Copies of this chain bind each other. A is one copy, B any other.
Amino acid sequence: MFKALGDPVRLRLFSLVASHAGGEACVCDISDVGVSQPTVSHHLKKLKEAGLLTSERRGTWVYYRVEPAVLASMGHLLTPAAP
């Protein structure tokens, strides 16, 4: 889990998904974190494999949301990034 969040891009992606309205974020919403979109997808897949995110396809778009248990464990650790 620490290894999954060790990469700055992944930490940013996780923080973005966690702080997005409704608790979920489409890939198209978070495609400007400084890397190309295939890389974003790659990192999201790693986060999903680590059990931190779950993905759900609704029509054309894919929505990611954080695993609730992880959110509970994080608690105030993420607060500086999720106001």
Using CB atoms and an 8 Å cutoff, list the residues of chain A in contact with chain B.
2-3, 5-8, 11, 73, 76-77
Contact of A6 among B5, B73, B76, B77 (CB under 8 A): B5
In angstroms, Cα B11 to Cα A5, docked, is 13
**In the complex, given contacts A2-B5, A6-B7, what are 11 additional A-B residue pairs having Cβ atoms less than 8 angstroms apart?**
A2-B2, A2-B6, A2-B11, A3-B6, A3-B7, A3-B8, A5-B6, A6-B6, A73-B76, A73-B77, A77-B77
Please give me the residue from chain B that is nearest to A77 by CB atom.
B73
12 contacts between A and B (CB under 8 A): A2-B2, A2-B5, A2-B11, A3-B6, A3-B7, A3-B8, A5-B6, A6-B6, A6-B7, A73-B76, A73-B77, A77-B77
